[in-house]
Chains A and B, each alone.
Chain A
Amino acid sequence: MAVGLRHFTARAGNGSEEPILDTDNGEELVHVQPSVSVAVGDRAPESPGTLYITTRQVIWLSELDREKGYAVYFLSLSLHAVSRDPEAYPSPCIYTQIETEADEVEDESKDSDSECSEVLDLSKIREMRFIPSDANQLDTLFQVFCECAELNPEPIEEGEEEGHNWIFSADQLEDEAGAGDDVEWHFSQNPTNTIGHSNGHHDLASSVLELQINDQRFEDAEEMEQDSDTGHHHQSQQ
């Protein structure tokens, strides 16, 4: 799934203004809020449109310009909040922060949003506000955002080779060492992604379990030199 804010223009035809969703993969429309203006980054609010909240993303489609629309997946929404403080923003709105590609790769050279550029680079947008014409709708909108955000926890990726490549023994490097400079980090068993990964559903106990079972480094050195059918584990049974 694409990270960050995106342009969205796929509208159903036949006069229907609704966005085309990924229904094959179970995406459903949860809430529709007409007369919502949107303010992208530091830019002024754009002309009113309709907010469509689905089980996967938030889509805003302009009422005036049928070619204009924005969308962001809940996976990319770091936080959302009800903003009513006029010092923070003149209009009551739903404030959202968007995780960008730059955030993901911990890019230190973060550019600020450019208001002057003709072509808006949505991928760098970090904040977005949804301003309903009826401020009484804010609490409902906030609730819907919460419910749908909860439907989108971090996906568990089994056997993923990118990113969390832990080396458990020097043997792994020796086995696979190819060209000198490009040492490819990888591992032979299923990664235990606990460290550095998000909080929540990773079972620390099973991670530790895997380390113990698969890694012979934890065996006593003396035991390994012995030529035996019965290793350390079996001695207590004798």
Chain B
Amino acid sequence: MLFFSYFKDLVGREVTVELKNDLAIRGTLHSVDQYLNIKLENTRVVDQDKYPHMLSVRNCFIRGSVVRYVQLPPEEVDIELLHDATRREARVVF
């Protein structure tokens, strides 16, 4: 549940979600659930060539399983903290 918790802390921030079909959508992170489904507000498409009709949509729900990357604002990321947390998460517990 690490990333679920992590993304919950980022609610309200601007993120760019890149989907596996290469579409990239920027918006304000509204909410995230345990499957890492993502809801964005005030979204706009980053590169409009592929999906020009999408332009700007107000509320958007993105299925967690189609997300490739979530790009975060660098100032929001504490790399050391994230590094430690993921290492702890991956540690074997007998």
Where the two chains meet, the residues of A that have a C-beta atom closer than 8 Å to any C-beta of B are 77-85, 87-89, 95, 97, 99, 103, 127, 139, 142, 145-146, 149-150, 153-154, 198-201, 204-205, 208-209, 212
CB-defined A-B contacts under 8 Å, sample of 27? A77-B63, A78-B62, A80-B61, A81-B43, A81-B57, A81-B58, A81-B59, A81-B60, A82-B60, A83-B54, A83-B58, A88-B55, A88-B57, A95-B53, A103-B20, A153-B35, A154-B64, A198-B36, A198-B64, A198-B65, A198-B67, A199-B3, A199-B67, A200-B36, A208-B90, A208-B91, A209-B94
Residues of A within 8 A of B37 (CB): 149-150, 153
Partner of A82, one of B3, B34, B53, B59: B59
User: Contact: A150 with B35, CB < 8 Å?
Assistant: yes
Residue of A nearest to B86 (CB): A204
Residue of B nearest to A210 (CB): B92
User: Contact: B91 with A205, CB < 8 Å?
Assistant: yes
User: Contact: A142 with B53, CB < 8 Å?
Assistant: no
User: Contact: B21 with A78, CB < 8 Å?
Assistant: yes
Q: How far is the CA of A212 from the CA of B91 in the complex (A)?
A: 11
Q: Is the interface of A mostly helix, strand, loop or mixed?
A: mixed
Partner of B90, one of A77, A97, A205: A205
Where the two chains meet, the residues of B that have a C-beta atom closer than 8 Å to any C-beta of A are 3, 19-21, 23, 25, 33-37, 39, 43, 51, 53-67, 89-94
User: Contact: B33 with A150, CB < 8 Å?
Assistant: yes
Given A78-B19, A150-B33, A154-B35, 7 further pairs, Cβ under 8 A: A82-B57, A82-B58, A83-B54, A103-B20, A103-B21, A199-B35, A201-B34
Residues of A within 8 A of B94 (CB): 209
User: Contact: B21 with A142, CB < 8 Å?
Assistant: no
Q: How many A-B residue pairs have CB under 8 A?
A: 103
User: Contact: A79 with B66, CB < 8 Å?
Assistant: yes
Partner of B65, one of A80, A145, A200: A200
User: Contact: A149 with B63, CB < 8 Å?
Assistant: yes
User: Contact: B92 with A208, CB < 8 Å?
Assistant: yes
